[in-house]
A = this chain, B = another copy of it.
Amino acid sequence: MSYIEELGTAAKKAETLMTSVSTKQKNDALKAIADSLIQNKEDIIKENKRDIENAKANGMTEALIDRLTLTEARIEGMSEGVRQVMELKDPINEIIGGEELPNGLKVEKIRVPLGVIGIIFESRPNVTVDAAALCLKSGNVCILRGGSDAIYSNKCLVNIMRAALSGAGIPEDAVQLVVDTSRAVAGELMKADKYIDVLIPRGGGGLIRSVRQNATIPVIQTGEGNCHVYVDRFADIDMAVNITDNAKTQRPSVCNAIETVLVHKDVAEQFYTALNAKWNGKVKIYGDETCAKFMQTERAATEEDYATEFNDYVLSVKTVSSLDEAIEHINKYGTKHSECIVTINMNNALKFQKCIDAAAVYVNASTRFTDGFEFGLGAEIGISTQKLHARGPMGLKELTTYKYLITGCGQIR
């Protein structure tokens, strides 16, 4: 039996046992995890230091080391996150539909866990706890495969969580860590459809594409965000500048930040002049000729720029002749995440919302609102950019499926 087969077999066993675990047990375990993270702060930081030292020796960039680092405050944040998940309503066993068929069969459609969820992510130890807590609350078993650079941190965190599970009478194999972080094992994991029901990659575009290419397990693709603001001919220019500023600069590294602004030619001068005054060089602009007349630009925007998620203080800008041109551009280059039109014209607003193919289509508001917490889901495992199963922010319900329970008294066809 290979290593992945061992993990998979243990996960399947845990999955069956999870069917008789109560909401109280799950909440007890989550509380114990939250408490135990605080109690074991020092141990966690000690193990995390080993990862950081290795990372430095391997020449990891400052930004990535920052992502990898766990401080006391960050551990408290993780603990608080687990407590919030605990307080959410248990989605499992909700009756979401049903009827009595003409032949007297009673059909109930009830919400059940997806089963075994594989989560592949980069070297961000906070994801380890966050993902496990969401899977646990939604009755799922998880197999976590984090980046090799975070292995000591992850081992420590997963041990803490497994002990908490045991204490609540939940099989500890409901949370498992892939400790062999070799590429070969990751490849085997992506094809372990016998054991794993769903695979969720959490990370950059490269990781997601690799999973999509190699997995035989159904994948939920999350977090690629090439988002746009379109400033319509009928835009309130102040509002357009504020929304563009917020959507680009409030937190440029996240997926719901924008990467391109499309501006109707009739308001180009007005908008570019106002945005230039607001930013004064704060954001690097790849523009076109019209834009360059009224803004400080770095250079002309290329096709490649339009397809790039900068995740930085960088923005592509394009002047367009019509709403249709804007829609066409967005549907061509967008990643179906979040798109915005600024306009006071109702017809244009409706047309934009109808024709744009994205999870969240905004009129007169910043794309930064596409988020599980903002949408009131209470938590978020990621933002789906595919159309199958779930779209946009994914909370607990999006980690479930359903089954039909049919009860009769001898009915045959």
Q: Residues of A at under 8 Å CB distance from B?
A: 15-16, 19-20, 99, 101, 105, 107, 114-115, 193, 197-198, 212-213, 216, 218-220, 236, 239, 242-243, 245-247, 250, 331, 349, 353-355, 357-366, 368-370, 374-376, 386-389, 391-392, 401-413
Asked if B388 and A239 make an inter-chain contact with CB atoms under 8 angstroms apart, the answer reads no
Complex interface: chain B residues within 8 A of A236 (CB)? 410
Contact partner of A404 among B197, B218, B247, B361, CB < 8 A?
B361
Complex interface: chain B residues within 8 A of A19 (CB)? 354-355
Asked if A360 and B412 make an inter-chain contact with CB atoms under 8 angstroms apart, the answer reads no
9 residue pairs bridging A and B, Cβ less than 8 Å apart: A16-B355, A218-B388, A242-B412, A375-B404, A387-B401, A388-B388, A391-B401, A391-B403, A391-B404
Asked if A406 and B363 make an inter-chain contact with CB atoms under 8 angstroms apart, the answer reads yes
Give Cα A360–Cα B219 distance, bound, in whole angstroms.
23
Give Cα A375–Cα B243 distance, bound, in whole angstroms.
47
Given the known A-B contacts A197-B387, A360-B403, A405-B361, are A101 and B376 also in contact in the complex, defined by CB atoms under 8 Å?
A: yes
Asked if B331 and A412 make an inter-chain contact with CB atoms under 8 angstroms apart, the answer reads no
Asked if B389 and A388 make an inter-chain contact with CB atoms under 8 angstroms apart, the answer reads yes
Give Cα A388–Cα B216 distance, bound, in whole angstroms.
13
Asked if A216 and B220 make an inter-chain contact with CB atoms under 8 angstroms apart, the answer reads no
Asked if B243 and A405 make an inter-chain contact with CB atoms under 8 angstroms apart, the answer reads no
Given the known A-B contacts A401-B391, A403-B360, are A365 and B105 also in contact in the complex, defined by CB atoms under 8 Å?
A: yes
Top 9 closest pairs, chain A to chain B, by CB? A365-B408, A246-B412, A389-B389, A387-B401, A218-B388, A365-B411, A368-B413, A239-B410, A360-B404
Given the known A-B contacts A114-B387, A402-B391, A412-B243, are A407 and B363 also in contact in the complex, defined by CB atoms under 8 Å?
A: yes
Complex interface: chain B residues within 8 A of A15 (CB)? 357
Complex interface: chain B residues within 8 A of A361 (CB)? 403-406
Contact partner of A388 among B197, B360, B363, B366, CB < 8 A?
B197
Asked if A410 and B364 make an inter-chain contact with CB atoms under 8 angstroms apart, the answer reads yes
A133 to chain B, nearest CB (A): 21
A100 to chain B, nearest CB (A): 10
A350 to chain B, nearest CB (A): 9
Give Cα A101–Cα B363 distance, bound, in whole angstroms.
15
Complex interface: chain B residues within 8 A of A401 (CB)? 387-388, 391
A66 to chain B, nearest CB (A): 22
Give Cα A362–Cα B357 distance, bound, in whole angstroms.
39
Asked if A216 and B213 make an inter-chain contact with CB atoms under 8 angstroms apart, the answer reads yes
Asked if A354 and B20 make an inter-chain contact with CB atoms under 8 angstroms apart, the answer reads yes
Asked if A388 and B354 make an inter-chain contact with CB atoms under 8 angstroms apart, the answer reads no
Give Cα A386–Cα B197 distance, bound, in whole angstroms.
8
Contact partner of A362 among B193, B363, B406, CB < 8 A?
B406
Contact partner of A413 among B364, B369, B413, CB < 8 A?
B369
Asked if B115 and A387 make an inter-chain contact with CB atoms under 8 angstroms apart, the answer reads yes
Asked if A364 and B213 make an inter-chain contact with CB atoms under 8 angstroms apart, the answer reads no
Query: Other than the known A16-B331, A364-B410, what 9 A-B pairs have Cβ atoms closer than 8 Å?
Result: A115-B357, A197-B387, A197-B388, A242-B412, A250-B412, A362-B406, A365-B410, A369-B411, A388-B388
Give Cα A20–Cα B327 distance, bound, in whole angstroms.
14
Task: For A114, give the chain B residue with the smallest CB separation.
Answer: B387
Give Cα A376–Cα B97 distance, bound, in whole angstroms.
12
Give Cα A197–Cα B376 distance, bound, in whole angstroms.
28
Given the known A-B contacts A16-B355, A198-B388, A212-B216, are A375 and B411 also in contact in the complex, defined by CB atoms under 8 Å?
A: no
A92 to chain B, nearest CB (A): 11
Give Cα A362–Cα B355 distance, bound, in whole angstroms.
43
Asked if A220 and B360 make an inter-chain contact with CB atoms under 8 angstroms apart, the answer reads no
